[in-house]
A and B are shown apart, each in its own frame.
Chain A
Amino acid sequence: MNLPKIHSITKKILVGALGAFLGFFLLFHASANLLILRHDGGEWYNAFCHFMGTYYIVKVLEIGLFASLLLHAVMAIWLAIENKRARPVGYKKPTRSKTHRGSKVQMWTGILIFACLIMHFTDFYFVKIGWVQGKYMAKSEDVVTLKTIQPEAFNYAEQHCEYSAKGNWLGNFNADDKAVLEAASLEVEPDFYHKAREKFKILHIVIAYLFFFVVVWFHLRHGFPAIFQTFGLYNYKYGKAIEVLGQVFNWVVCLMFTVTVLGVYFGL
């Protein structure tokens, strides 16, 4: 099969640029997730999720994000196919050159990221688009309005929810509650705060997510410094500093995720 023609360095730049975009998303995602550690009944975190779920620019970015992930993987696999073809007859003795081993596992860590993302989406994102059930919440002002129109639905909501500290959101409805409240034409959306707090109390889920973060760490351990090289920013003067910067970025991202999950597990 003949693959279409994109120059080797251009392909690399695409992999790198899309990887960088995904990396910055991770930084953003990881910092926002720290809000889960606030004991505010999801006030801040759910407000953030609400914004993410409804603001139109975010929706556009979300499409961009999925496209980037896909294109990043496609380009990387394309590079790998070409690279296999560049050496049809291999060596008998395995290499003993001193190389950055990271690049050799990029493909495998990438595929593991994909697998872990399926788990992660089942837990959260698919709830949002309604493919799986989860925890739900409603705006408390909407619920209060309900009091005058449909008192029995209001009573139901009160009995089945947890009030958040400031009371903008009434959360922790399960799927049955959702059905009842939606029947009373209340707008119900995912309650990721309670969902996360529930998920990360379960040991095997915590372990699975920690595994996920380790995989991401390995992928970015090679990835971040590689971006600078690919964009021609690695030079004699700042080479080492850039390498360190990449690793710091990687640690910050992965540690923020880890702290969130472990924080919930140990009831921080």
Chain B
Amino acid sequence: MAFADLRTDYAGEKPRIFNLALVTGVFTVLTVGFYRFWMKTRMRRYYWSAIRPGGIPLEYVGTPTEKLLGFFTAVVFLAFYIGIVNLILMFFSFSLFEGTAPAYAVSVVGLTPMIFFAQYRARRYVLARTRWRGIRFGLEPGVAGFVWRSMLHWGLTVVTAGLYWPVKTYYLEKYRVDRTYYGDHRMHQGGSWKTLVKPMIHVYLALVTLVAVVAVTTVTEDPRYAPLGMLGMGWFVYGLAHWKAQSFKALTETKTLGDVRLRTAPRTGRIIGIYAGGWAAMFGIFVAASIVIGIVVAMIVAAVGSNLFADIEEGNLAAIPRFVPILFGLLIYFSYFVFWSVLKETFISLPMMKHFAEVTEIVNPDALRAVRQRARDEFAEAEGFADALPLGDAF
């Protein structure tokens, strides 16, 4: 009995993610950041449910209150570390080196183990709260191994000026995937780091080209070589998109869950198109919004402020209540941040996930029938450490 491979539908829509991101973003600002736990939860519910392998949506079951709890837990531990350690570092930095730079450098290095720790714990939390077909995912405890491996691989990446990047990517992914469960079945990351070198090839070649162009231009002092730099930059951008598509393919198609496999075919051109279109849309909207705000302000001033001009001419600026410009400035400031992230979700994150979802299939889904439920992973601190440390919004 041959079962068709499971294709993945994508049900996310731009207007709905726009509304959700906008509403939750505004609430987050109004609550000086505390609504962000609800915002993250709701956004994930939406994004998860949009991905529907075989027509069955993923489900995100994390709750805002457990994130809040995790955040408080992390603050209790991190406050001490960050406050006292930073102070002492600053002291020694000024005593011994008479500058702040060493303190910041040591502070960053001191925080890196904490960041890797937070990453692994956050991944464990998110997987534990993700279900598909009613079955929980899970990540085995193993944060210590992840932290030292991350330190090692990232260290080598820095030392080799990025050459090592594919190797680092492969081993860190393998460490996590090999500890990932779907129900009672353990996943496995096959392949080898060599399969990730080829996806990186355009980035390497573009970098070599750029270095060569810079070298030739400096040595010959001939500006005619400079346009080649533009070519190199373009190649570099293409290389990054190619890496994103092909490294995903290389890593995804070598993941297995028992006899179940994945097949995927992300397209470099589509990724470039999403970024180009997304940035163009965001830029266009910001320009249009600035023009509209300018017109509205001019109209308000013209309608209400006939004596405002008189005041300004007389230099009597005190006639304007002091809070008006402050309020206006704050409004613009926060609107800018909120809309920036809202538009990014709408025009880049959502189309990107749609593309990656739609090109991915589950091969031999029949083998999934053997999968049984796993126990709930109670997780007191949720992703509190990742939330308290600014790690960006990694899923």
**Binding partners A and B:** no
Binding site for B on A (CB under 8 A): none
